[in-house]
Amino acid sequence: MPNAQPPASHFIDGRYVEDTAGAPIDCTYAATGEVIARLHAATPAIVEQALASATRAKAEWAAMTGTQRGRILRRAADILRERNHDLSVLETLDTGKPYSETSVADATSGADALEYFGGLAGSLTGEHIQLGDDWVYTIREPLGLCVGIGAWNYPTQIACWKGAPALACGNTMVFKPSETTPLSALKVAEILTEAGAPSGVYNVVQGMGDVGAALVSDPRVAKVSLTGSVPTGRKIYAAAAADMKHVTMELGGKSPLVIFADADIEDAVSGAILGNFYSTGQVCSNGTRVFVERTIREAFVARLVERLKGVVMGDPLDPATTYGPMVSERQLKIVEGFIAKGIEEGATLAHGGKRVDRPGFFLEPTVFTAVTDSMTIATDEIFGPVLSVLDFDTEDEVLARANDTPFGLAAGVFTKDLARAHRMVKGFEAGTCYINSYNLAPVEAPFGGMKLSGVGRENSKLAINHYSQMKSVYVGMGPVEAPF
């Protein structure tokens, strides 16, 4: 049995901290169902320690130059890359995702964020605005103490996507990973400290929703960034409103992927696979409503099913494995419930649909055809390996149907007609769009949702505006005129 027990549950003020009075959090390896680590949720005393530490650290961190802060972030990026193998094994143990994915998509994308925002840190500025003889200058200031709250699908990446821009701008952070995947964020905190981040700049506390809620409602906190579901987002946004805290909300989706008859079918099938089965379908931006032009639907489904037979399901630590288990028994049961609903509501099960007879939480990659817009599998976020094929005939029709959802995280189109591709993208009500590609999220590009899928953007230069605020300074150069 692999042992992934960290030195302690929390990382506060530059060191590991334990309080066994907190409720136990068992960390289960999804490929076997074995408990590989036991941690404890933060008690109120631990939450207080973390908030006090991050509050204390604010002044020293903000007083450093951006270049100094950036150097530390870039050093942390280098360490993440040097230790990619060990960190990827840990991420696989934490999430169940296969090593073939974690070794290229988790610590590496966390490192990208630390490197990118580390590089930007030295060039963050305000501006000078001349107004005749008078002038205005703006000072870019950190927000202060930021709270990050993570989902369980990309624990290392989420810890870095929130931490890197926050720290680059001179903020400090208390990060709470998902209780389902508590291990990797501790490593991020440890590595940032090793890279030179002063104690208290980046802290990690464990816990369930109540710990998150305690962090969000604390008046010392200036900003909350959540990656999670819409219901949790609503609660956190409401709690943050009490003190007018800044928020970033990276929430769920039910994204459309539109495939026109003139598309390269092999590429479109690849896009549908990336947008539905990578990370066993546990990706927020997945294109789970696959609209296929009626004339090519049969050919598309036949090729998709054939390619899915090539899935290598097995031990996620074996580099040859390409498809792992779901993160937990609970998530597996939720997805099984959606599959049953799909069958009950009359969709055709074209592939998969069953739990795999082996230890762990393995579920076959699943494809439904003859799905209609109102079926539950076409309206609700499933967050698992379930692809729905919907037929369409015209561009106007498919765009209207693609947008007929309260979510707006992502959308994709496959076609060789470039004018049509850009028309579709202009019409999509989604924050992240793809033309002849799907589910790539480079740190250089803004990432985030419209409508219920979120508020604010992560990554890219835009994230800087979500982790800093402008002070505007009017400088009078002449006599002061007053009306009386």
Residues that bind ligand NAD (CB under 6 A): 149-153, 176, 178-179, 208-209, 212-213, 216, 227-229, 232, 235-236, 250-253, 284, 381, 383, 409, 449, 454
Q: What's the rounded Cα separation, in Å, for the pair 334 and 328? A: 10
Could you tell me the maximum CA-CA distance found in the chain, to the nearest angstrom?
86
| 210 vs 318, beta carbon nearer ligand NAD | 210
Is the Cβ of residue 165 or residue 449 nearer to ligand NAD in the bound state? 449
| Residue 412 neighbours by CB under 8 Å, 6+ apart | 255, 256, 257, 258, 271, 275, 287, 433, 434, 435, 437, 438
Task: Give yes or no for a contact between 459 and 453, defined as CB atoms under 8 angstroms apart.
Answer: no
Closer CB to ligand NAD, residue 281 or residue 316?
A: 281
- Give the nearest distance from C-beta 456 to ligand NAD in angstroms: 11
Residue nearest to ligand NAD (CB): 212
Least distance (Å) between residue 168 CB and ligand NAD: 19
* Rounded CA separation 84/135 (Å): 49
Within a 10 A sphere around the Cβ of 303, how many other Cβ atoms?
16
Q: What is the per-residue burial (b if ≥16 Cβ within 10 Å, else e) of 437-447? A: ebbebebeeeb
Q: Terminal CA-to-CA distance of the chain, rounded, Å?
A: 82
Residue reference for tokens 């942390």: 76
Measured from the CB atom, is 88 or 178 closer to ligand NAD? 178
* Residue of 337, 437, 350 lying closest to 387 (CA atoms): 350
For residue 307 the two structure tokens come to: 């390619």
Output the smallest distance, CB 404 to ligand NAD, in A.
Answer: 19
Sequence-distant (≥ 6) Cβ neighbours of residue 300 within 8 angstroms: 259, 265, 268, 269, 292, 389
- Of 109 and 232, nearer to ligand NAD (C-beta) is 232
Residues with catalytic function: 162, 250, 284, 458
Q: Minimum CB separation from ligand NAD for residue 213, in Å? A: 4
Question: What's at 231, amino acid-wise?
Answer: P
Q: Report in angstroms how near the CB of residue 437 gets to ligand NAD at its nearest.
A: 18
The CB-of-412 to ligand NAD minimum distance in angstroms stands at 16
Rounded Cα distance, 474 and 139, in Å:
11
Shortest distance in whole angstroms from residue 103 CB to ligand NAD:
20
Q: In the complex with ligand NAD, which residue's Cβ is closer, 31 or 284? A: 284
Q: E strand or H helix at 33, and its extent?
A: none
Q: Pick between residue 70 and residue 324 the one whose CB is nearest to ligand NAD.
A: 324
| Residue 178, C-beta contacts closer than 8 angstroms, at least 6 positions apart | 150, 151, 152, 155, 228
